Structure 1
Amino acid sequence: MLDTSSIELSIVMPCLNEAETLAVCIDKAMGYLKRSGVVGEVVIADNGSTDGSQLIAEERGARVVAVEAKGYGSALMGGITAAYGTYVIMGDADDSYDFDNLEPFVERLRAGDELVMGNRFRGGIEPGAMPPLHKYLGNPVLSTIGRMLFRSEIRDFHCGLRGFNRESILSLGLVTTGMEFASEVVVKSTLGALRVSEVPTTLKKDGRSRPPHLRSWHDGWRHLRFLLIFSPRWLFLIPGTAAFVLGFVGVMLLGFGPVVVGRVGFTYSSQLYLAALTVVGYQSVLFAILTKIYAQREGFRIPRSRNFDRLQKRISLESGAIVGLLLFVVGLGVAVAQLVGWASNDFGPLEAGATLRAAIPAALLMMLGAQTIMAGMFLGVLSVGVKRS
């Protein structure tokens, strides 16, 4: 019996009814271990197969780990957690990945890299192995977005063949259960300052006769949603700041009278919509700031910046309440002045244009003030010390 403490490499394959191709994948992985002399094991993370995949795996000398929680990410995390190796190489059991040639991954892992991604575009994609939608749109676009948002060097975010230091990856606190697990590994490794590299690998045509589990648009959206939500700067802060500045400046300019640009005139209705844009933008900025403060205090691995750290030191429940109250009082003062003016006119008819030009900015300031006060109160809730187990 193999001493588990001597295992250097665990080759983990997620499995859900892969009887057609599982045996050949295991044979290739076992063949690599035998030829290379690497002390290792093959782990099949079975996600509830009903086609006899478990028996096939055991007959081929693999270790089967039953994973009850459904999903690609759940299956892989179950296999990674149960693996004995210092290093793990994961790959799909559909005979599309090159388990015969894992040496480039092992070399980089032994050199100290903590995540080694395969790059199918550098290694070669067999005709028919990747749908045109994935090859020319899905993978390139999502990988480009990932590189832009997280300053990653990886050019194939979704390659299913990748190797990593087991302890390093487990320390990241991976939580996704579906196909977005592939993006989560790269994103959190990058944010966690792990040593990440990329090696060429090949992609063959899926060896199964049935359709793959992957759903192009559904799973693509899940990847994109994960990338955006995990980057509040690009999803909330930058768009929110742009909306707030554009809306606030526009509202204040129109407070002095109509603005004409060429043949287009802007007046009360434009001012009202710009006020709404200001509120939405301001709420987006507050959400981005509070989200990042919460994430940092909870120990999430997100990028830090000196500017944000300085801002965080200056904002508190008290400062938020003071700033919010000042905004609210200014807006309320304008409203009261209008009310007094209306009363002096014996509550008679008012000139609509002048009234709206002042009322809209006043209402805007009151809303921004109330939002600021509530954001400060929420920040106060976040700052309450609690005892953690």
Structure 2
Amino acid sequence: MVSFVLPTMNEEAGIKECIQRATRALEELEVTGEIIVSDDSTDATPEIARAMGAVVVEPDAPGYGYAYRYAFNTARGELIVMGDGDTTYNFEELPKLLNRLSETDADIVLGSRLAGEIKDGAMPPLHKYIGNPLLTWFLNTFYDAGVSDAHSGFRVVRKEALERLELESDGMEFASEMIMDAASKGLTIEEVPITYHEREGEATLESFTDGWRHVKFMLVNSPGYLFSLPGIVLGIIGSLIMGLGYTGTSVAGQPFGIHSLIAGSLLTLLSYHIGSFGLLSEISSDPIQESRDPITKWVRQHFTLERGILVGVGLISIGSLMVGIFLSRWIQSGFIVLPPLRGDIVAFTLIVVGIQTIFGSFFMSILSNE
């Protein structure tokens, strides 16, 4: 059995044609099916859908993603077909998606607009050449999804695969969440080229608002890319600049001096802050994609409050020993020869990082209930 699920909001101009196409697809495939319209309209969309034999459900909360999640509870099919009710997708192309599903034993098959044909006027140039390709690139980079059109609304999902996914978003980011969660769980995602048509009725998509929701959702669910990786990169750069500044090394004839040392110290402290956010995010939340870098993974596996305190005390001790040596030399000189500024910067950088490590370890222990 195949269940079509169509989320609608004021789609009276196109819902009739969409249901007709879905019905013809089911007839061509000679399979039992149902068409579920998850509706949040103020126009005649639900009346038209019911008159054509569709099952109309009315979610008790707004949102594109919530409309889908609400309707999934009603769907009885072994295969769930997702699509919009605005005629942009020709549901008579469904056999192509089901053939790919059968041939590859995939869990999800997407109808790729970007790999297929986009009719004139069907997609704004901003979405076609920038928005959708960029969002797809982000998703592939962060989650290894390996798809060409991550935000296509025409999809076939096996019911058993859908039950494995932990879908929670209510808005347009639902399209991203499904691919992200499927990729992180190792589900097989395939694609087939489709034709994307001009919609009937008024568009409800808000380009920048909805685009930002996708990007934000991808970032907050991948703390490794949001926090850990930038923290590591800044830490390497900061430490390198500190080393060059402390030794006074020249590069291409330009010496690294005290100003470089200060900049390196600040970058190192900043990297520690950002990297800590990555650890704390993974402990306090349940991101779809956990950090993959070896440093974060090692800390997660071996962290205990006692070890964190020990590391912090060690850093503070080294920095304090350096400060003690410099202070002793200053006293011996009769308070005339000031301590070396380079050494002071390194010493106090170590002390600050040590103090952060101790308090951060307590905070991590609280979050992880250890």
Same fold per TM (> 0.5)? yes
Q: d(CA) in 2 for partners of 1:58 and 1:218?
A: 32
Match for residue 145 of structure 1 among 127, 138, 143:
138
Cα distance in structure 2, aligned partners of 1:148 and 1:305: 13
Q: 1:63 aligns with which of 38, 52, 55?
A: 55
**Does 2:303 align with 1:315?**
yes
Shift of 1:303: 5.8
TM-score by length of 2: 0.90
The one-letter code of the counterpart of 2:263 is Y
Q: Which of the residues 375, 378, 382 maps onto 2:363?
A: 378
After TM superposition, give the deviation of residue 262 of structure 1 in Å: 4.2
Residues 1:197 and 1:305: Cα distance change in structure 2 (over 3 Å): same
Q: Quickly say closer, same or farther: Cα 1:102–1:301, change in 2 above 3 A.
A: same
Aligned to 1:5: none
Aligned to 2:79: 87
**For the residues of structure 2 that align with 1:10 and 1:272, how far apart are their CA atoms?**
63
**Pair 1:303–1:274, CA change in 2 (3 A):** closer
Write the distance in 1 (CA, Å) between the matches of 2:56 and 2:80.
15
Query: Does structure 1 residue 180 correspond to structure 2 residue 168?
Result: no
More displaced stretch, 94-103 vs 167-176: 167-176
274, 293, 314: which is aligned to 1:326? 314
Structure 1's 306 and 368: CA in aligned 2 closer, same or farther, altered over 3 A?
Answer: closer
1:347 Cα deviation after fit: 5.6
Kept in 2: contact 1:10–1:84 (CA 8 A): yes
Tell me if structure 1 keeps the 8 A contact 2:228–2:293.
no
What's the CA shift string for 1:138-171, capped at 9, x where partnerless? Answer: 1112212222222222111111111101232233
Q: One-letter code of the match for 1:369?
A: G
Distance 1:303 1:109 in 2: 29
**Partner of residue 166 from structure 1, selected from 145, 159, 163:** 159
Amino acid in the other structure paired with 1:289: L
Farther off after superposition, 311-320 or 86-95: 311-320
Could you tell me whether the CA contact under 8 Å between 2:3 and 2:35 is conserved in 1? Answer: yes
1:357 aligns with 2:342: yes
The percentage of aligned residue pairs carrying the same residue is: 33
* Aligned residue type for 2:214: H
Note the C-alpha offset of 1:304.
7.9
Deviation at 1:245, TM superposition (A): 1.6
Q: How many residues align?
A: 368
Q: Which runs of 5+ in 2 are unaligned?
A: none
Q: What is the rounded CA distance, in whole Å, between the counterparts of 1:78 and 1:176 in structure 2?
A: 12
State the superposition RMSD in angstroms. 2.4
If the length of structure 1 is used for normalisation, what is the TM-score?
0.86
Q: 3-state DSSP class of the match of 1:205?
A: coil
Query: Using the alignment, how far apart are the partners of 1:332 and 1:311 within structure 2?
Result: 25
CA distance in 2, matches of 1:191, 1:39: 32
What does residue 207 of structure 2 align with?
Answer: 216
**Match for 2:239 among 239, 248, 253?**
248
CA contact (8 A) 2:282 2:290 kept: no
Deviation at 1:293, TM superposition (A): 4.9
Say if 1:125 and 1:202, in contact at 8 Å, map to a contact too: yes
Unpaired runs of at least 5, structure 1: 1-7
Contact 1:116 1:164 in 2 (8 A): yes
- The CA deviation string for residues 349-384 of structure 1, in whole angstroms up to 9 with x for no partner, is x64xx5431221112111211222233223322442
